[in-house]
Structures are given as C-alpha cells and as structure tokens.
Chains A and B, each alone.
Chain A
Amino acid sequence: MAETLFQKVWNAHTVRTLPSGQTQLFVGLHLVHEVTSPQAFDMLRQHGWRVAYPNRTFATVDHIVPTDSRRRPFLDLMAEEMTTALERNCREFGINLWGPDSPEQGIVHVIGPALGLTQPGMTIACGDSHTPTHGAVGAIAFGIGTSQVRDVLASQCLALEPLKVRRVDVNGPLSPGVYAKDVILTIIRRLGVQGGNGYAYEYGGSAIDRMTIDERMTICNMSIEGGARAGYVNPDDTTFAYLRGRRFAPAGDGFDRAVQWWRQIASDKNARYDDRVQFEAASIEPTVTWGINPGQSVSIGESIPADADEEALAFMGFTRGARVRGTKIDVAFIGSCTNGRLSDLEEAARVVHGHHVAPHVKALVVPGSSTVARDAETRGLHEVFMAAGFEWRGAGCSMCLGMNTDRLQGREVCASSSNRNFKGRQGSPTGRTLLMSPAMVAAAALAGEVADVREILEGVPA
C-alpha cells in the first residue's frame, strides 16, 4: 500500500500499542539542552533510572547561554547554575555534551543537522517546540515537555498518538527578495496558527524541491507556529548531498546503503494524504507580522486587514488599514533556530554590505552555532556586519526568547528573524516583535524602519 514518509517512519519505530491506546514509539535521536532537562535528570535520580541509550543522546547549551562573554563563571549566575547542572548531569549519565567552550556548541536545531546527527527516516525528540526543524532532511521530529524528556532518557521512547498528514505544496519559482521565511509565514497566515492541530505537514512542490536544506529547515522549523506538531520534506538528492561527509553521517559504502534506505522511506508517489493544500510561490511577497501570533502577517505592500484582532492591534499600536512598512524599529535581531544559519547571515550581509545601521537602531547578529560563527568569520561576514554597526555575538538562542540578558526594553519594536511575536516573547512584557526574513531585518536595520528589501537588492550583485 502506498504510504507517506510519516506512516513509514511511524510504523518502523512502533514498539507496541500501550494499554492506554497510545503508541510506544522508539526515539532514534534525543537532543537535550540546559533549560528543559534539569528536572528530568532529577526524576531519573529519584527513581534510580539510567539513560537507556546514552549513545543516541546529545546535549548542548543554547537557551540561557550568554552571547557576549563566555568566561566562566558566567556573570549571569543562573546561566552558570543551569550550565553547571547540565555538565554534571551529562557526566553522571554518560551523555555527549557540547558545552559553552566547545567548538560545536550552538542552537540544538542548528547543530543537529550540521553534524549529520539528524538523518532521514529517524524519529527525533527534544524538549523544544522547534524540533520539527529536523524534518527538513526527512526525519519525524517532536517537541516535547520535561516529563517526556524524562521518559525518553529512561526508555528512549515516547507515548504518542499518530498524526494525520497534510500535504502542503508550494509550486513555481520564488521571486527575488522572497525567502523561505516569507513562504512559511504565508502558509501559517492562510492555514492558521491552529490549522495544523492533529497533523504533520509534508512540504513539497517545485519551490520546496528547489530549496536548500537550510531553507527547508526554516520552513519545517515554524510548523509548530501553524499548530503542526511535526513537519518534513521528503529526502531527495539535495538531502543526500547535504549529508555526505558530515561527522555523524554514515561513511563509505554505508552512505550508499543509507541512501537506498532513505529513498525507500520517502512518501510513495501515490501516497494518500488526509488533506492537501496548494500555494503559488510567485504570489508570495516579502512578509512581516503585525500582530501577536505568527499568523498575523501581511506582505510588505499590503495594509493591516480590516478584520484585524483588536487585542493584537492595541498591543502593537497599529490600526486597521495602516501599513507595517515604515514602522520605526528600535532593535534588529538576526539569529535563532529559524534563521541563524550561515546562508541566512550571508544573505543579510549581502544587504548590509557598504551601508550603516540607522543611528537609533541597536542591531545584533547572533550566529546559530559556534561553527556558523567561525564559518562566517572565515568569509569576513563579521567584518561586514560590524562595519555596518551590528554587534557580532557568540552562538545561542539569545533574543528569540529573552532568557539570557539579550532582551527588549520597554515597548521597543524589534525587527526579528526569529519565530514568535507573542506578547513579551523577547524579554520585555510590553516589547513588540515584527517577524521577517533575515534580509528584511537587515533592510529594516539600515532604514531604521520596516522596508522592502527588494529595493536594496536591486542594486546588489547576486
């Protein structure tokens, strides 16, 4: 019978049906970070449990880790305490940790694929809702809570119910200045922030086929913002080329055998979907959010809709019919698991090159991993950013969620390449977030207000 990748992966990892009716699902890769794990390790200790598969468990620090100085002990005492707790837990339970001094440290969803840990056909779990990022290479990846982190540590399994699968096709070529971020914001706007409830999103169509793995990661990353617990793209030649030679990817003949299995695990041509939706790539424009959830967005030339939510308008200080374009910004943030990869920084640097950040704007670039930072520095991107007036930071989640000291102040407006514009998300209860692509953040930083990056890119060689 023709099946989707989701169904094949689900079946291959099903241990049994639990007495509750849920499925016991084996987890192929467990990624751990400092913020949602300490209570889970404490629960293991209370019960005298060990970690079932320490060799399938990897940890790093990203959420609270400072991005200015990495000197230990950290000035932020809680960051120090949480980092120390993870170091102790990983030592005690025999887990591989890329700590703050490690050259591999970085946002868990940036380093997993980059190291080749993330592979097609795997099940992946992490105590973070943006775990579907790993679906970009054809894995089924779930964001979980701390009690489930405990379960995966102890048993390498989750108790879950299967999801339906919605095929999301994006067809045709994207216009210049339009990025994966604009595509996913457009998808969420149309399908709604809870439209994906009960579904995994399978992204496909010629626009997705043409995308790099980095771009597919941006799309899959924000599946949860559309309510979908998982999102993925079927593995293809782009995926295999991406994985070849990566540190934890199979090597030699093993790689060729892996490719055979990865091809088989992809959705069959005539697989049946529970739902299908289509988007035309050519109709997607640079997109910005105006509200307090990621579904509340407009294209840059569009006005805020007449039926805009009152609470969102009041919080953001916008009015119906107004444009987001021209909104003065205070902060520009380039980074996060959504858009903190080398290709994101390259594209933003292309916009920034030879220009300067508007005098009233605080602008920062936070690379998604220490490896991304080094690779960017090798290419001289840090100099482009710093010459333009951006701060160049160490790797971490930073101002995406304001858990470390990188936070908005008061009602500041932030042009942000991150994933959530929730009230208070960036660390100030009254701070305001405008989500957009990294290139659009760069354009806003230069103009001091929300701008159309296409007008800057017109004069820039490709």
Chain B
Amino acid sequence: MSYAPERIVTLSGRAIPLRGNDIDTDRIMPARYLRAVSFEGLEGHLFEDDRKANPQHPFSDPRHAGAAILIVNRNFGCGSSREHAPQGLARYGIRAIVGESFSEIFQGNSAMLGLPCFAADPAAIEQLQTLIERTPDVVVEANVESGAITAGPLRVAGSVSPALRDGFVSGRWNPTAMLLDRFDEVRAIANRLPYVSGF
C-alpha cells in the first residue's frame, strides 16, 4: 500500500452483487487464512467456505470475474476486526463497496487501505443488485465526493461517512503521517493524563 497522497474520488468498473445481511468477516476470510505473517495471497481465499457450500456464489461466477465494485446488503463485515477481510477484497481488485450498512470496524479497516464503503438505501441496493445480475457487463461508477452511484441507466444516491470522505478526496486517507506529524502534542496530552504521569 502506498503512502504517497493519492486522491480517491471516482471508482468504476464492473460490479459483483453479493446478497445477504450480516455477512461477517469470518465468512469473508475464514480464520485458517489468518495463519500467516503476511497478507499475500488472501484474495484467493475470499468467501472460500461460502463458495464451496454454494457453487452459484457470485465470487465463483465467471460473469463477475474482474469486478471492481462490490454491492452488499446490511451490516456487511460484522464480527472479527481482522483486516484480512478487506485486504483480501482489495487484493482481489475491489475498489469500492456499496451497501445498506457496514460494521464500523470493517469500514475503518477498509478506509485504511483506500477502499471506500458507500451507504445507500435498501431500495437502491436492490435496484443495483438486480441490474447487475441481469447485465453483468454494466459499468458501475461511484463518486466519493457526491456519493452518487451510476450503473448504465440507473443513478442512485449514496454517501461515504464524512470524515472518511474528506480523507479520500484530499488524498489523506492514510492517517499515519498525520498522526506522527506533531508528536510534541501527543507527548503533551499523554503527560497530562494522571495514569501516564503516575498519579
């Protein structure tokens, strides 16, 4: 992952519709693939158990191969804080996720990788998923700044959480440099805390 400021505003590509509420990060990336000291190769294990159980799983459907936009339903990415889940998605080539709602930890972990999560209402998600299922070649475009999502003739309203949105748009979505920027202020705050100074 790059540390140079990279503005993330428009994401586009073919899309992959993944229906279902409360899809947890154990399902996105089973725990046995956390048995590694690097994130390399995780893209090969996305939804591995779900895909075995369901041969029609969208991630096994050749019509959606190479998709860049993932369309999900409610509370996507709940459960474990494993970054391996969004790492797998990003390494697979997913550039934006559009859904009814997301677990906060998942959304934050995704943002750290430059992967924005767009929230949209259930009717909009249904329209997007249905359209993409019927015409898998349709190009979906999502704009972080306006929140607008277009897919062929369809245009729906979405939004990226404001603090994350501004980070993507300004290119400052990776906060490490900012956090290190004024370390004297960090020390000053720390030294004012009674438990740091030893009561």
Interface residues of A (CB under 8 A from B): 12-16, 18-22, 24, 26, 28, 35-36, 38-39, 42, 47, 49, 52-53, 56, 63-64, 78-79, 81-82, 85, 119, 121-122, 127-129, 143-148, 150-151, 154-161, 193-194, 197-198, 224-225, 227, 229, 250, 254-255, 257-258, 261, 293, 311, 401-403, 420, 422-425, 427, 429-430
Contacts and interface: CB of A to CB of B under 8 A. Distances in A.
B56 interface: no
Contact of A250 (B83, B103, B198): B198
A20 B172 contact: yes
Interface in B101-122: 101, 103-105, 108-109, 112-113
B150 interface: no
B182 interface: yes
A369 B172 CA distance: 41
A194 B75 contact: yes
A278 B100 CA distance: 28
A141 B93 CA distance: 32
B175 A36 contact: no
A402 B109 contact: no
A4 B129 CA distance: 42
Interface string B31-62: 11011111100000000011011000000000
B120 to A, nearest CB: 16
Which of A56, A122, A224, A402 counts the most B-chain CB atoms under 10 A from its CB?
Answer: A224
Interface of B: 1, 3, 20, 22, 24, 26-27, 30-32, 34-39, 49-50, 52-53, 74-75, 78-83, 86, 101, 103-105, 108-109, 112-113, 161-164, 166-167, 170, 172-176, 178-180, 182-183, 185-186, 189-190, 192-196, 198-199
A257 B195 CA distance: 10
A194 B22 contact: yes
A79 B9 CA distance: 41
B22 A24 contact: no
Q: Which 8 A-B pairs have the closest CB atoms?
A: A145-B83, A145-B109, A429-B49, A147-B112, A159-B175, A155-B179, A129-B81, A38-B37
B26 A423 contact: yes
A28 B178 contact: no
Contact of A254 (B162, B164, B199): B199
B113 to A, nearest CB: 7
22 contacts: A12-B193, A15-B185, A15-B186, A15-B189, A19-B166, A20-B164, A20-B166, A20-B178, A24-B175, A52-B183, A78-B35, A79-B35, A145-B108, A147-B113, A148-B109, A151-B179, A155-B176, A229-B105, A258-B199, A423-B26, A427-B31, A429-B53
Contacts of B37: 38-39, 42, 81-82, 85
B163 A21 contact: yes
B82 A154 contact: no
Contact of A227 (B103, B161, B196): B103
B80 A403 contact: no
Given A129-B80, A145-B105, 5 more contacts: A13-B193, A19-B172, A194-B75, A225-B79, A425-B31
A167 B170 CA distance: 36
Contacts of A429: 30, 49, 52-53
Contact of B103 (A24, A63, A194, A402): A194
A154 B176 contact: yes
Given A129-B81, A254-B199, A161 B163 contact: yes
Contact of B31 (A159, A160, A229, A402): A402
Contact of A21 (B30, B80, B166, B174): B166
B32 A403 contact: yes
B179 A36 contact: no
A462 to B, nearest CB: 36
Contact of B175 (A22, A52, A56, A250): A22
A430 B174 CA distance: 38
B167 A20 contact: yes
B33 to A, nearest CB: 10
A197 to B, nearest CB: 6
Given A147-B113, A148-B108, A197-B103, A21 B83 contact: no
A12 B78 CA distance: 29
A24 B179 contact: yes
Contact of B101 (A56, A151, A197, A427): A197
A122 B86 CA distance: 29
Contacts of B80: 128-129, 401, 420
B34 A403 contact: yes
Contact of A16 (B34, B172, B182): B182
A49 B189 CA distance: 21
Contacts of A255: 199
A156 B189 CA distance: 11
A13 B53 contact: no
A313 B142 CA distance: 36
Given A36-B82, A39-B37, A422 B27 contact: yes
Contact of B163 (A22, A79, A146, A261): A22
Contacts of A293: 22, 24, 78
A249 B161 CA distance: 39
B195 A154 contact: no
Contact of B27 (A26, A78, A156, A423): A423
Given A19-B172, A20-B167, A150-B176, A157 B105 contact: no
Nearest to B173: A20
B112 A145 contact: yes
Given A52-B183, A78-B36, A127 B81 contact: yes
A35 B34 contact: yes
Contacts of B24: 293, 420, 422
Given A20-B172, A82-B35, A227-B75, A26 B53 contact: no
Contacts of A261: 194-195, 199
Contact of B39 (A39, A82, A254, A422): A39
Contact of B81 (A36, A158, A161): A36
